[in-house]
Structure 1
Amino acid sequence: MTELAGAATANPYYGDNKPGTIGLMYPGSEGKIVSADDPGVELDVGEEGEFMVRGPLVMMGYYANEQATSDVMAPGNWMHTGDIATQDEDGYFTIVDRKKDMILTAGYNIYPAELERVICGHPSVALAAVGRIPDETRGELAKAYVVLKPEARASGQEIVDFCRESLAAYKVPRAVQFVDSVPQTSSGKIMRRLLSEVDDGSRAV
């Protein structure tokens, strides 16, 4: 990220590498996982929360923009990365999702990337993106935008039932829309902020 002079983490060149993680903190730098709802609460090993860093690689602030600086920098020179992550018992960090993409459902945090991985495990699914839709009772709900493989078939209820096999009840998408494509960057990253452009307004499976 541009707020760091280089990288803050890496898997060791010599020693134990853990595929899927972003590795350990660089010497002289520190990292921690805090509650996404209350950054003053540091979380335990394995719990999902915001990844914060501090050390000589962290910027002093944004040039001529005190408000943006105060939004990112916390007391003690800790910096909010905006990434939701976990830390294992060996100190390795794993990125889960971006905090700005988090869906808040009746007080529960839902991370779209987790749902997308599950849905893409369905044999008929080529690609999936998960976004938020408003709900009067729960605040927000998860909606899945699903691209099927050529000549494959699946119903919205089938996708929901498939999710129920491996997700907590509150994480299961409440609406499913089948689409020809989802917004992506040139590198294939899903652009969740643009999902509203393909949304047809449906709120059911």
Structure 2
Amino acid sequence: MTPFLALHAIEKRYNSHLALQLEEIRFESRKIYSLVGSNGCGKSTLLQIVALLLKPTFGEMVFQGEKVVWKKKNLLRLRQDITLVHQSPYLFSRSVHHNIAYGLKMRGTNSKDQHRLIHGALEMVGLEGFGRRSARELSGGEQQRVAIARALVLRPRLLLLDEPTSNMDRASIEAFDKLLPLLVEQGMTIIQATHSPDQPERLNSTIIRMEDGRLA
């Protein structure tokens, strides 16, 4: 069976520094995967490569049965199905609604559909009624949830999360833990990097341990 995502002989070097070296790693669709390991072990580098934002020095990546060709036209098309939420996401100094609408506008989504999708995304992350609030005035956890909502409205097949709960309070983490399985039920595949010692088990996710840029 063809995996949803596969990486073969992937290496990422920065001059003489070897940041990532993976012989083989495969991901099935409609599952949650948790990358765990200490700071600097390569989790974020791996996520950026999978997000098609960072080209590996060597190796091959296959997404939904298609070999990734690292050329602008091909990458733009494949990125339509992949979204990465960074640990410290950038939000505009405008309303929550404007921040979430940005990606939809870039894709040419009409205003009516924008409002419907934004309302649904805010409801999913537990921020109903926050549309008119200033994004920069929210708490760290609320800003992280806005960033996740901004990803969800794009309806990616693959959602990548880099330390998504690092700035969340307990209530936000509980809501987040309930959200991810629902997204999987809707057909999404999720890969997250996390430092949380017990969250991967709570989510019943497949744990991928990393150490010094390699699989532990």
Q: TM-score, normalised by structure 2?
A: 0.27
**More helix by proportion, 1 or 2?**
2
**More strand by proportion, 1 or 2?**
1
Structure of higher CA gyration radius: 1
| Higher RCO (CA < 8 A, seq sep 6+) | 2
